[in-house]
Chains A and B, each alone.
Chain A
């Protein structure tokens, strides 16, 4: 694991050095994989560690020309990635550190990005990852699939990590559409790896992949070419990917086996209802009840805000405004976005005030753009009606 980590760090360092002088290659991801593989091969020759398992694979790698599309579905790569995923998600390490290590080693995230994701600083993350690696060394954790009883315990963290990875791509600030999509596809690929393994082909895993499929179906429709977000109600649904929606339905169906109801089941079901564009009372009542249940098993501010929005659609704005005021999320800019939405039409002056408040709390450019769009729309509406 230490070696994998060093290789990843080395590769990114080399990327920075090379790209600065030669420019970013046509396919940066393929470039990184190729460099990392070459580094891994050299490292293995030196240390003779993984000689039995990985070296034969690496001999097939073309050394002179970087392949534009490296085959990642190769079984032994899959297996070793799954093993690494489970090794990282060992109970001796805190959940936060597990997520951090996965993002670092398996997904090549920078310390900066991980620090961002955890709303903390680089130093904290560096310390946390260092301690975690020490722990894994002391516990002599092997890079192998845990036994059946152990899989159940560790799967939750594995799923959380994949869920966060997907979100990182889906909600990333980066203007690089390709990179963001790659992060999401990477998360989906790792989740699919779990489904291909009999031991981990379980209902919550299917539910998680269903959730990802439903969200990913809106990739094309939710961003303009310049990276600006297009709001759900303004999206051109002919751009939605119906193949992914169908796949999502398939995995959600598979998730329905057994009687376990995970947060992924609930979120996937909410995702399913969002693939139906028409605003029907049935749709919003279902979404509201799903959020009611989701909040009981896994509270999050985002779910609380979305639940209140669904409440306004299902039960009316007056009730939703009263409930919104109890949420106590006054440092969250989306809280003011919600209040702005709820007050729109009822009291446009108040709505505008809340959108401005939201703008002052927003940190990222895409968030600011979304809020600005809503403000503009409100101003246009007031102009038309007055």
Chain B
């Protein structure tokens, strides 16, 4: 069993959503995560709120959020257990973020810290 990070990317982090819409997304996300947890495949996860986001560049210039220059932004990530990358991809397919046009979920294997990976 490997661990994979499912990284949710939003095409447009600046897009405003109504509180009602936010609530629906929240429920869908919680149901999606609950479904993975019900298979005992959930490891951990966190949402990454857009407020108070900062970008620190190589010259230590700090800008407010990634939204000025880059349109695409990370909204959150969860880590799951999966037999293979294919199973992790199946989990990713259920992510409600994908209902948004242009949004993506990136699947990445977690390094084991064994000096090889």
Binding site for B on A (CB under 8 A): 285, 288-289, 291-293, 295-296, 299, 303-304, 307-308, 311, 315, 323, 326-328
Contacts and interface: CB of A to CB of B under 8 A. Distances in A.
A295 B37 contact: yes
A323 B35 contact: yes
A298 B39 CA distance: 12
Contacts of B38: 295, 299, 303-304, 307-308, 323, 326-327
A337 to B, nearest CB: 16
B27 interface: yes
Interface residues of B, number: 12
Contacts of B31: 288, 292, 311, 315
The winner among A292, A299, A304, A323 for most chain B CB atoms within 10 A is A292
B6 to A, nearest CB: 14
B107 interface: no
Contact of A326 (B35, B42, B45): B35
Interface of B: 27, 30-31, 33-35, 37-40, 42, 45
A289 B38 CA distance: 12
Contact of B33 (A292, A299, A315, A323): A292
Contacts of A328: 39
A292 B39 contact: no
A304 B40 contact: yes
A292 B34 CA distance: 4
A291 B39 contact: no
A347 B83 CA distance: 33
A110 B19 CA distance: 56
Contacts of A311: 31, 34
A299 B40 contact: yes
A288 B37 CA distance: 13
Given A289-B27, A289-B30, A296 B42 contact: yes
A316 B38 CA distance: 17
B33 A296 contact: yes
Contacts of A295: 34, 37-38, 42
Listed from nearest, the 7 A-B pairs whose CB atoms lie closest are A292-B34, A295-B37, A304-B38, A299-B40, A296-B37, A292-B30, A307-B38
Contacts of A285: 27
Nearest to A306: B38
B3 to A, nearest CB: 15
16 contacts: A285-B27, A288-B31, A289-B34, A292-B31, A292-B34, A293-B30, A295-B37, A299-B40, A299-B42, A303-B38, A308-B38, A311-B31, A315-B31, A326-B38, A327-B38, A328-B39
A326 B45 CA distance: 21
Contacts of B27: 285, 289
Contacts of A315: 31
A299 B35 contact: no
B37 A326 contact: no
A307 B40 CA distance: 13
A307 B31 CA distance: 10
Nearest to A328: B39
B93 to A, nearest CB: 13
Given A296-B42, A299-B40, A291 B34 contact: yes
A288 B39 CA distance: 15
A326 B39 CA distance: 7
Contacts of B39: 304, 326-328
A308 B112 CA distance: 32
Contacts of B37: 292, 295-296, 299, 304
